[in-house]
Amino acid sequence: MQKRIVVLGGVGFIGSHLCRRLLDAGHEVFCIDVRDITNAPVLRGLLKQPSLRYIHHNIIHPFGIRCDEIYNLAAPTMVRYSKALPVETLKVSMLGSIHALDTARSEHARVVLGSTGHVYGLHKRCGENLSTQRIIAEGKRAAEALHRAYRADYGLDTRIARIFNTYGSGADLLDQRVVVKMIVAALQGHEVVVEGSGEQTRTFCWIDDLVDGLVRLMEAPAGERIRTVDLGSDHEISILALAEKIVALCGSRSRIVHTEPRSDELRRRAPDLAAARSELGWRPQTTLADGLKRTIAYVEKALCDRAGLFRTWVEINN
């Protein structure tokens, strides 16, 4: 059955892949974002599809759309935006959630909030530190509380996905997420930067696996047990080992250099996938090695395409 589905932050990395997945399933998709949809490589070839509706809108302002489901993935999470706009980031999480929840309430729609694994360990980040990760985490934690409050007070069907590190094709090459950042540096022969010793461990989930988890969470039958789940990879790797693997897979001669560690850096961040496995029957399927190879191929092609845009007239005609 075709549904009318709203994806807030639909131009973003995860949002654009989710839009494509929902379109492939035959749904009518409303992609809402402040960024132009042509900035999403994943959606450029789908712009003429009548089932895809792009709406340029900042969700810190109210909106209303007839819909059955809302995925709230809106967050200016790219580091170059968040460092400059902490207030905007918090408004998107809090005011944006209120407006999304009010729309869902009026339309009797189900809502999935894309939260973040950064909410874990917030109590350890004390003082006046306003790092990007803390700003995002504080906003998302407030958004989670709003979703639970609307569920308790109004009976709204809300679900929360705490998303851990995700990577894959279709990412913005200027994005500062660690995998793409390292791949770009390695392919260009630049230094690959590791913060601190690199002994801190993280997990990295392939984008299509993550999107599958979001869809399963949305489509799970209503019940008391489906509330909040972690979505991410179950394979931990140190940041230093990740850098070494990327340099090797790229066939690069880039040096790995270390910088000062961040003051709020957690030594370990990994999801607890027990709820996702038992309640959604979900677990990631793509190995890190396979995912990195596919991401490297995407980045390599994207870099070549971008270089072609800056060729001289003589180069083009020779």
Q: For residue range 192-203, what is the model confidence (pLDDT) as tens digits? A: 999 999 999 999
Residue 318 binned pLDDT confidence (cut-offs 50, 70, 90): very low
For the cut 90, the answer to whether the pLDDT of residue 30 exceeds it is yes
Residue 22 binned pLDDT confidence (cut-offs 50, 70, 90): very high
> pLDDT value at position 124?
58
Pairwise pLDDT comparison (245 vs 136), residue with the higher score: 245
**β-bridge mates for residue 159, sequence order:** 112
> pLDDT value at position 317?
39
Kindly report which listed range (35-39, 159-163, 232-236, 292-296) carries the lowest average pLDDT score: 35-39
For 69-120, the DSSP string reads: EEEE-----SHHHHTT-HHHHHHHHHHHHHHHHHHHHHHT-EEEEEEEGGGT
pLDDT tens string 111-125? 999 999 989 876 655
> pLDDT value at position 186?
97
List Cβ neighbours of 293 (8 Å cut-off, separation of 6 or more).
249
Kindly report which listed range (58-67, 72-81, 284-293) carries the lowest average pLDDT score: 72-81
CA-based nearest residue to 239, from 288, 195, 305: 195
For the cut 60, the answer to whether the pLDDT of residue 20 exceeds it is yes
Please tell me whether residue 44 adopts helix, strand or coil conformation: helix
The number of CA neighbours under 13 Å toward the Cβ of 261 is 12
In the chain, the domains with their CATH numbers are 1-163 (3.40.50.720)
What number of residues does the chain have?
318
Residue 173 binned pLDDT confidence (cut-offs 50, 70, 90): confident
For the cut 60, the answer to whether the pLDDT of residue 79 exceeds it is no
Please tell me whether residue 29 adopts helix, strand or coil conformation: strand
pTM over 0.95, yes/no: no
Q: Which secondary structure element, helix H or strand E, spans residue 158, and what is its range?
A: strand 158-163
